[in-house]
Amino acid sequence: MSAPGLSPAPGTPSTPGAPPTPDTSPAALATCLLCGRRGGHRSVLGGVLWRCGSCAFSWTAADSPPPVELYDESYFQGEGYEDYFLSGPRRFESGRRLRWLLSVARPSSLVEAGSAGGFFVEAARGVGIAAEGVEVSESAARFARERLGVPVRVGCFEVVAPVRSVEAVCAFHVLEHVEEPREFLRAARDALVPGGWLALEVPNIASAAAGRLGHAWPGLQPRYHRWHFSPESLTRLVRECGFRIVRQDTAVFRYYMPARYRWRHLHHLLPADLVGIRSPRLTHPRLGDLLRVVAQLPTSTRRRTS
């Protein structure tokens, strides 16, 4: 597995016994998105990621951002369970996400950023929430509108803001793709009413499986994922953008698989989970593959300006 524009691993002595040469490439001198440290970052996973020398936040070592055109039909139409338009698995996944959100909050309106085939919007509307989606892929948005009959607008969430304020913004597997996560969270804040809810899910780079599998961990996806969050880095970023963390946990990949897929993948996923998180449970406070956060804006109407 490789990513475009990889820099050589820093600190590699050119001759045996020589002291490591400091890496002065632009990537090594980059400013950490999370803590602002400039330079002194570590190349990890054979140069696929950079990891901040201060706060350990990780990002993909690529020269240029993945273009929006990358999210075409082939991105959404993977194999089997990965197919974003496959109604059985997607409705199961959406139902689980909705129950998780409703266990914390009771919004009457929401916008889902990166709504893909529209199944979560459909599930939310099914329980009476005025839900709409925003999606960069025109074909995915068309699928949602024409096949599921749900309102989805095409565009980047940061640009295509909701027409009215909503009580919840949801973004499942979006924040790791966006160019500027702080701008994305600012747009979420601007879209929300005071006291509004933010529900996020991203791959967990600090999961037991990520640590054990390295490049082979399915959540890594360096071609698509610019940012690689841990429970610490995600909650810090969300707090710094003006939200209060209400709930945070993780889930293993099996959590979102309907029973027949779970059985099919049982032979390799269950033993891996038993080793990794020492439990057959599908959720864990911090070691599962998928990291979830529900956060809330202050109820005061005073808005932060940064």
> Which residues of this chain interact with Zn ion, rule CB under 5 A?
32, 34-35, 37, 52, 54-55, 57
Q: Are 194 and 299 in contact (CB under 8 A)?
A: yes
Nearer to Zn ion, 25 or 279 (CB): 25
Instruction: Please report the sign of the dihedral spanned by the C-alpha atoms of residue 52, residue 58, residue 64, residue 68.
Output: negative
* Least CB distance to Zn ion at residue 200 (A): 19
Residue 143 structure tokens = 């699928």
* Least CB distance to Zn ion at residue 118 (A): 36
* Least CB distance to Zn ion at residue 121 (A): 35
Nearer to Zn ion, 38 or 303 (CB): 38
* Least CB distance to Zn ion at residue 55 (A): 3
65 backbone φψ class: left, alpha, beta (φ>0; ψ -120 to 50): beta
Q: Are 150 and 129 in contact (CB under 8 A)?
A: no
Nearer to Zn ion, 7 or 77 (CB): 7
Closest CA to 189 of 295, 106, 35: 295
* Least CB distance to Zn ion at residue 92 (A): 37
Three-state SS at 6:
coil
Q: Are 234 and 31 in contact (CB under 8 A)?
A: no
* Least CB distance to Zn ion at residue 254 (A): 32
Q: Could you give the CA distance from residue 63 to residue 71 in angstroms, rounded to a whole number?
A: 19
Residue 41 structure tokens = 């970052």
Q: Could you give the CA distance from residue 174 to residue 140 in angstroms, rounded to a whole number?
A: 14
* Least CB distance to Zn ion at residue 7 (A): 18
Nearer to Zn ion, 12 or 54 (CB): 54
Three-state SS at 36:
coil
Nearer to Zn ion, 32 or 192 (CB): 32
Q: Could you give the CA distance from residue 232 to residue 55 in angstroms, rounded to a whole number?
A: 9
Nearer to Zn ion, 44 or 55 (CB): 55
Nearer to Zn ion, 26 or 128 (CB): 26
Q: Could you give the CA distance from residue 38 to residue 105 in angstroms, rounded to a whole number?
A: 38
Q: Are 132 and 153 in contact (CB under 8 A)?
A: yes
